[in-house]
Amino acid sequence: MPGRGEARLDRLIEGVLADLDLRTRFREHLAISSWPQIAGRVVSAHSRAEAVRDGVLIVAADTPAWANELQMRRRELLELLAAKIGSGVIRDIHFRGGTRRRERRSRQPGPRPAEIRLSGRQEKRIAEAAGKIEDEELRRRAERAFTSLARMSEWRRRSGWRRCRRCGRWQRVGRRWCASCTYSGRRRRRR
């Protein structure tokens, strides 16, 4: 049972995320970043959560055999995700086999995300959002997190990433829609 201070802190964080319209995206990001803990050491060495589209977690596996193994454990993985990030965020998991790409180094030398300087307007918005948090330590952490997200978005823009025309999320490939929207679009057409 959470203490009185914890309950207020939860409401405060939820309020800040709602004000910034980040509640759903935060939980989606949490689902992606939590994949190694949820899947376990062995499974996460052969799979990687890549994105969340319309409540579907997209997971790339090394081989079709790994994708099949994960598909058989789908219900268990969904329950673990719901316990970790809350129910209603991830309603299904789609496993793609043989599509996991190895990390590549950038061909063009440039600033790393941590080295990117934000504009005064961006810094002001971050300060305003974090300023609503009364707890000083939590405010500093939130400000660092918001700054990191803003720098990553700016780095992606400078590195040639584009936003998907359908969902607005960043993608490396210069296609009209990202891979997840293309996949979900096909599913809708079949029905």
Rounded to an integer, the average pLDDT of 93-122 is 73
**Which range of residues forms the domain containing residue 33?**
4-102+110-186
Residue 166 maps to a domain: yes
pLDDT tens digits along 50-103: 888 888 999 999 888 889 999 999 999 999 988 988 888 888 999 988 765 555
Give the rounded percent of residues in the chain with a pLDDT score beyond 90.
14
- pLDDT tens-digit series, residues 85-95: 888 888 899 99
User: Is residue 35 classed as helix, strand or coil in its secondary structure?
Assistant: helix
Most confident stretch, 26-30, 74-78, 146-150, 184-188: 74-78
Distance CA 30, CA 89 (A): 10
Residue 84 located in a structural domain: yes
pLDDT category at 182 given cuts 50, 70, 90 is low
Cβ(67)–Cβ(43) below 8 Å: no
Predicted confidence (pLDDT) at residue 30 exceeds the cutoff of 70: yes
Residue 175, pLDDT > 50, answer: yes
For residues 125-157, b (16+ Cβ closer than 10 Å) or e, as one string?
Answer: ebeebbeebeeeeebeebbeebbebbbebbbbe
Distance between CA 161 and CA 154 in Å, rounded? 10
DSSP SS3 for 97: strand
The identity of residue 187, as a single letter, is R
Question: What single-letter amino acid sits at 94?
Answer: H
Q: Which residues pair with 65 in a beta bridge?
A: none
Residue 101 has what pLDDT? 56
Most confident of 1-5, 67-71, 150-154: 67-71
- How deeply is 99 buried, as exposed, middle or buried, from its count of CB atoms within 10 A (0-12, 13-18, 19+)? middle
Backbone angles phi, psi at 23, to 5 degrees: -55, -55
Compute the average pLDDT of residues 104-129.
78
Domain contains 142: yes
In this predicted structure, the answer to whether residue 163 has a pLDDT above a threshold of 90 is: no
- CA gap 184, 191 in Å, rounded: 11
Tokens of 45: 């060495």
What pLDDT score was predicted for residue 109?
61
Q: In total, how many domains does the chain have?
A: 1
43 within a domain of the structure (yes/no): yes
Query: Among 73-77, 130-134, 143-147, 176-180, which stretch is predicted with the lowest mean pLDDT?
Result: 176-180
In a domain, residue 71? The reply is: yes
Report how far residue 26's alpha carbon sits from residue 42's, in angstroms, rounded to the nearest whole number. Answer: 26
pTM for this prediction? 0.47
Is 191 within the bounds of a domain? no
At residue 156, the pLDDT reads 82
Q: What percent of the chain has pLDDT over 70?
A: 75
DSSP 168: -
